[in-house]
Structure 1
Amino acid sequence: MKKFIYMTLAVLVLSCSGSKSTTAKQPSKKMLKGTWEVTNIKFVGDKGLYKAFLFDLADSSCFKGGEWIFIPNNGSGKFSTSANSSICDTYTNSIHWSFLETGDGYTQFQFKYVGDDVKAKNVKSGYSGTIQEISDNMMILKVPSEYEGNEFDVIMTFNKTSDNIKL
């Protein structure tokens, strides 16, 4: 009888222990609340020279040092590129963003450009990337790209700089 009780307790303990979930696959919109900086950009693909023009806006290098602001309750936000070299101009764009569960265990971060007179529902196309890793202070986003017919991924690392939101 004692063995039965111990085995039952062991099964209960094991079945009730919390399962570890990876935040890379189950992000919450609240995790992005605040101001973020793009701290690193790297390329993943076959060996070679890569050039990426991201989000139909600017060279990928112009995004390093850029600021992104996310408001989770309504999916609004904005981002600015950085004029960190002679090829970069500073751009600031209002966005509407969301998450999309893809069914493969990963989540897509997607956004559309919006403005004072442009509503997200009227914008037919947007941009997306796969969230590779996310926590309350860091996000790694994989953005597919192409240069001279060669496909590769741009890996953008975001670090939270503040919980404050100022659009």
Structure 2
Amino acid sequence: MVKQSFLIIALAGILLTSCSVSKSARTQRNLFSGTWTLENISYENNSGNFKSVIFNDAEDICFEGSQWFFRDNNSTGRYTINQSTLCQGGDRFFRWSVVEPSQNYSSQLQFKFIDENRKDISGGYGYRLNIANLTEQNMTLKSNVSVDGQPVTIVYEFTKS
């Protein structure tokens, strides 16, 4: 009986530690929490003028000034694009997480689209953005893409609202 109890406690401990989030990821999750304004989208590592569709949703110009809300207690959020002649306005809902850094990349914000009822609408497909900077007031995210076979980095600059 004692052996069995010890085994159950040991397995529970292993399960809890394997599912836990590192202190660094918890800190980043807490910093994400709240409302952010996407102030600017720019491009690095290539020259020229770019026009892109971001997150398979809208043109880059539509995202400038958009409001992003991250709720850390249930990993949901939304961004709101303002309605204009170029942009289909409204809320887009997502589920998000912070992916721990590895030898190939820094910490990343990962998200996928959900509906108002928190059901996956993206077929499991999502996005990852490298966290270049994250403080209580400013955030810079980057994503690497390819344009005509050449690498381009999209830079998203946010301020806390």
Establish whether TM, by shorter chain, passes 0.5.
yes
- Report the alpha carbon displacement of residue 139 of structure 1 after superposing the two structures with TM: 0.5
- Report the alpha carbon displacement of residue 26 of structure 1 after superposing the two structures with TM: 8.4
Q: Structure 2: which 5+ residue stretches go unaligned?
A: 1-23
Residue identity in the other structure for 1:102? P
2:125 matched residue in structure 1: 125
Please state if 1:97 is matched with 2:85.
Answer: no
Q: Please report the TM-score for the alignment, with normalisation by the length of structure 2.
A: 0.75
In structure 2, the CA distance between the partners of 1:158 and 1:27, relative to structure 1 (3 Å rule), is: farther
Bigger drift between 105-114 and 124-133 goes to 105-114
- Report the alpha carbon displacement of residue 148 of structure 1 after superposing the two structures with TM: 4.0
Equivalent pair of 1:27/1:107 in contact (CA under 8 Å) = no
Calculate percent identity across the aligned residue pairs: 26
Distance 1:76 1:65 in 2: 20
Distance 1:94 1:139 in 2: 20
1:39 matched residue in structure 2: 39
- Report the alpha carbon displacement of residue 121 of structure 1 after superposing the two structures with TM: 10
Distance 1:56 1:117 in 2: 21
Distance 1:106 1:26 in 2: 15
Residue identity in the other structure for 1:65? G
Residue identity in the other structure for 1:68? W
Equivalent pair of 2:25/2:99 in contact (CA under 8 Å) = no
Q: Structure 1: which 5+ residue stretches go unaligned?
A: 1-23, 162-167
User: 1:142-161 counterparts in 2 under 5 A?
Assistant: 142-161=142-161
The alignment partner of 1:31 has SS state of helix
Residue identity in the other structure for 1:89? Q
Residue identity in the other structure for 1:86? T
Equivalent pair of 2:93/2:114 in contact (CA under 8 Å) = yes
Q: What's the RMSD between the two structures over aligned residues? A: 2.5
Bigger drift between 114-123 and 99-108 goes to 114-123
* Cα offsets for 1:5-51 (capped at 9, x unmatched): xxxxxxxxxxxxxxxxxxx9985211111111001111112212222
Distance 2:109 2:27 in 1: 10
Distance 1:129 1:139 in 2: 12
Distance 1:37 1:61 in 2: 14
The alignment partner of 2:109 has SS state of strand
Q: Which has the larger radius of gyration?
A: 1
Bigger helix fraction:
2
Distance 2:58 2:122 in 1: 23
- Report the alpha carbon displacement of residue 58 of structure 1 after superposing the two structures with TM: 0.6
Equivalent pair of 1:52/1:145 in contact (CA under 8 Å) = no
User: 1:52-67 counterparts in 2 under 5 A?
Assistant: 52-67=52-67
